[in-house]
Amino acid sequence: METSAQFGSLRMNITQRPVNSVHALPVELHPVLRHIYAARHVTQAHELDLKLEHLHPPAALKGMSQAVALLMQALRDQDRILIVADFDADGATSCALALRALRLLGARDVRYVVPNRFEYGYGLTPEIVAVAAQQQPQLIITVDNGISSIEGVACAREHGMRVLITDHHLPGATLPAADAIVNPNQPDDAFPSKHIAGVGVIFYIMLALRTQLRTSGWFGELGLQEPNLAQLLDLVALGTVADVAQLDHTNRIFVAQGLARIRERRCSAGLLALLQVAGRTAERINSADLGFAVAPRLNAAGRLEDMSLGIECLLSDNPDAALAMAQRLDELNRERRSIEAGMQTQALAALDDLGMDSTLPCGLCLFDPAWHQGVIGILASRIKDRLHRPVIAFALHDADEIKGSARSVPGLHIRDALDAVATRHPGLLSKFGGHAMAAGLTLRRADLDAFSAAFDDEVRLHLDPAQMQGTLLSDGALMPADINLELAETLRNAGPWGQGFPEPVFDGVFEIKSQRLLNDKHLKLSLQHPDAPQIYDAIAFNIQEQTLTLVQNASRIHVAYKLDVNSYRDRRSVQLLIEHIQPAI
């Protein structure tokens, strides 16, 4: 329940997205869709072409030739290859893709290890190298991690292992002394797309390796059929969406191509099983289904237990075995949601005690010794969305250390902010790393107050009060004639939508004709546009109490909404999926 003025505020700044010129876009596009694309900086027809042939060449990635040479040597020498994965969905899909691809390309002994976040923490640490050494690999490949693993790489090389780092996270001032590094964000890398996820990086490497193997005559020597690596694009799409990677042209190609294969059910048995337990139909899947239905269930393994379960699910070719694992992942996700709900209640109560006035920190740090380390990232994201400011949620790592998960807002690069704090206050942070909008960090429990103050000071240097107000970007008002099933279907298929390329949101004033509450938390409405006779079905999920009170006492409301397709008993109809409700002026 919203218990404070800040949480209970019904007013947001609904701002129309600026629109670039639409003149170069195809005239046959629906006018609303042309407007939407232009507002997302797509102004040329070729930017809408999402064929694989438009991917940037793998050779454009720095370190690619060294990486391919390492892999060629490992394949020819029949070396044991060990994948070291991250424990999130990007890490899981990267690991599954690397294993599947290498086996298709002729690797005879390829294995994986994924650190348990509660025992070993993130990345190629010396501790995980010791675990890896028990399997005696000749080559270690990190996926979705490793760019900050200076000590771990040194330890691996002392054990006589070669190391290939594949990552996409931002590097520190010093790179690890690996045999090869492929990361579009490393210094002097001219690769045009800086936003590909870890799964995109390893996919590019497998493409380059296949090309070199073809040139060398490898497939003929072994009597192998050259594999079509497009069969792995379902994993690329899932990992890209799950990691909330910005959907630039490259990532939209990855996601669109992956979705196309999933809709034809030409994808892994594990992904189909995850869709089944999530109640989604493969033939109608979109990127939102990957992000909000599949990814949380996959991530639940890494958050609560061990991501090996998620990786094994994605590796399974047996539908029955995959379904059993997906059902277990679904159970873990239900448990995660319960834990998260309790943590969120505690956090909101603590914030309510602060009064929620102008004294609230601009950069907010939250800690409770009872919080679950695997769920703090979700908690930080939820509180960030409510308060419109950067949030770091901390949980105990051991008696002396705490681990934090940070989420940011536009205007503050969270990884750079942590770097600035570490520079100004040497020794305050034990370790940190991440992206512009999300990061992880470790520090001593005794230093939390000092860090909280330093973080707040850093945030205040970059954000002003206006940037910490709730703003909802709208694609404008729709004419009544455009609120129809045809446009809803067009928009559904016009993506893929996601981070940096958001699904269209419209806004307008409507008259309330009827309303009812479903399951005590979802508000079902019948709305009428003031200038049209049609009545539109609408739904607002997880309605807050103050918003419900507003609607119950109003005849007209201003809503921001998405055009949705509601399917019920073979009947399809347009529905307004409400994102925000506020009083009509």
Residue 499 CA to chain centroid, in angstroms?
A: 8
535 lies in a domain?
yes
CATH number of the CATH domain containing 489: 2.40.50.460
Q: List the alpha helices (DSSP H) in 306-413.
A: 308-315, 319-353, 376-387
Pairwise CA distance, residues 519 & 276, whole Å: 23
- DSSP 8-state secondary structure symbol assigned to residue 504: P
Report yes or no: 467 and 390 within 8 Å, Cβ to Cβ.
Answer: no
Q: Which domain holds residue 491?
A: 5-21+472-583
Q: How many structural domains does the chain have? A: 3
286 lies in a domain?
no
307 lies in a domain?
no
- The pTM (predicted TM-score) of the whole model is 0.90
Report yes or no: 219 and 229 within 8 Å, Cβ to Cβ.
Answer: no
Same domain (yes/no): 524, 567:
yes
Sequence-distant (6+) residues with CB within 8 A of 338 are none
349 lies in a domain?
no
Report yes or no: 421 and 446 within 8 Å, Cβ to Cβ.
Answer: no
Same domain (yes/no): 454, 572:
no
Domain end (from 429, 447, 468): 468
Same domain (yes/no): 98, 246:
yes
One pLDDT digit (tens) per residue for the chain, 585 residues: 222 223 334 456 788 888 876 667 888 999 999 999 999 999 888 899 999 999 999 999 999 999 999 999 999 999 999 999 998 999 999 999 999 999 999 999 999 999 887 777 778 999 999 999 999 999 999 999 999 999 999 999 999 999 999 999 989 889 999 999 999 999 999 999 999 999 999 999 999 999 999 999 999 999 999 999 999 999 999 999 999 999 999 999 999 999 999 999 999 999 999 999 999 999 999 999 999 999 999 999 988 888 999 999 999 999 999 999 999 999 999 999 999 989 988 888 888 766 555 578 999 999 999 999 989 998 999 899 888 899 999 999 888 999 999 999 988 999 999 999 999 999 999 988 888 888 999 999 999 999 999 999 999 999 988 788 878 899 999 999 999 999 999 999 899 999 999 999 999 999 999 999 998 889 999 999 999 999 999 999 988 888 899 999 999 999 999 999 988 777 889 999 999 998 888
Q: Looking up tokens 């099983």, which residue turns up?
A: 273
153 lies in a domain?
yes
108 lies in a domain?
yes
CATH number of the CATH domain containing 204: 3.90.1640.30
Sequence-distant (6+) residues with CB within 8 A of 31 are none
Same domain (yes/no): 197, 247:
yes
Domain end (from 244, 259, 274): 259
Domain end (from 410, 441, 468): 468
